[in-house]
Amino acid sequence: MSTVTDKIVPEPDEQAGRRGFLAAAITAGAAYAAALAYPVYRYLASPIEQSAAMSAVTEVALKDAQKLSPGSVLMFKFGTQPAMLIHHKDGQWVGLGAVCSHLGCTVQYQPGPNRIHCYCHGGEYDPQTGANIGGPPPRPLKKYVVKVTDEAVVVSRA
């Protein structure tokens, strides 16, 4: 008469079969989960992809910006990020990114003292070149190429 344990311990063949089944079940389950997770991931990531497409722009035409009076600034979006078009009193045009290189605040051009200042942590930049000249910023502002025409000011990536 066979004992109870004889029945419970599976034959080597059967054991391999079970292991194979388990592996197949786990693989199928993982594939199933991935098939469900993929559309959900793409759905949630949609705006990231859209802004990636937006920030891929290389040129922004600012219509009628050539009428900007000297000693003033125009804030605009270059792709997804804020930027400044400064018309200096000496007639010079400068295009700079407005994102502080320190912690990403938006900087401000002040025509009175003729400086670029960041109120978050007191960063200072040169309004002609965008160079970091005071406070914590480690790098200059992003500099753009500016072309003035009769209808618009075209700002493009350097």
Partner 1 sequence: MGTAVYNWIDERLGLTEALTFAKKKTVPLHAHSFWYYWGGLSLFFFIIQALTGILLLVYYRPGADAFESVRQITYQMHFGWLIRSAHSWSANLFIFSIFVHMFSVFFMKAYRKPREFGWFSGMGLLSLAMVFGFSGYLLPMDELAFFATKVGLQIPGSTPVVGPLLADMVRGGPEVNEFTVQRFFALHVVVLPALFLPLLGLHLWLVQRHGNAVPESEAAKPVAERKSIPFFPNFFAKDLAMWLIALNTLAVLASLFPWDLGKPADSLAAAPPGIHPEWYFMSAFQTLKWLGSWFPGALGEFLGIGVFNVGILLWLVIPFYDGSTRSGQRGRRAHYFGLIVVTAVAITTIAGYWSVR
Rule CB under 8 A: say whether 64 interacts with partner 1.
Answer: no
Query: Using the rule CB under 8 A, is 139 a contact of partner 1?
Result: no
The answer to whether 155 and 146 are in contact (CB under 8 A) is yes
- Asked if residues 86 and 93 have their Cβ atoms less than 8 Å apart, the reply is yes
* 45 contacts partner 1 (rule: CB under 8 A): yes
Q: Which of 1, 4, 9, 44 binds partner 1 (CB under 8 A)?
A: 44
Q: Of how many residues is the chain composed?
A: 158
The DSSP result for 81-109, as a single string, is EEEEEEE-TTS-EEEEE-B-TTT-PBPEE
Does residue 59 touch partner 1 according to CB under 8 A? no
Burial of 111 (0-12, 13-18, 19+ CB in 10 A): middle
List the one residue from 1, 4, 8, 40 that touches partner 1 (CB under 8 A): 40
Pick between residue 32 and residue 119 the one whose CB is nearest to partner 1: 32
Question: Measured from the CB of residue 42, what is the shortest distance to partner 1 in angstroms?
Answer: 4
Total number of residues that touch partner 1 (CB under 8 A) = 9
Binding residues vs partner 1 (CB under 8 A): 39-40, 42-46, 49-50
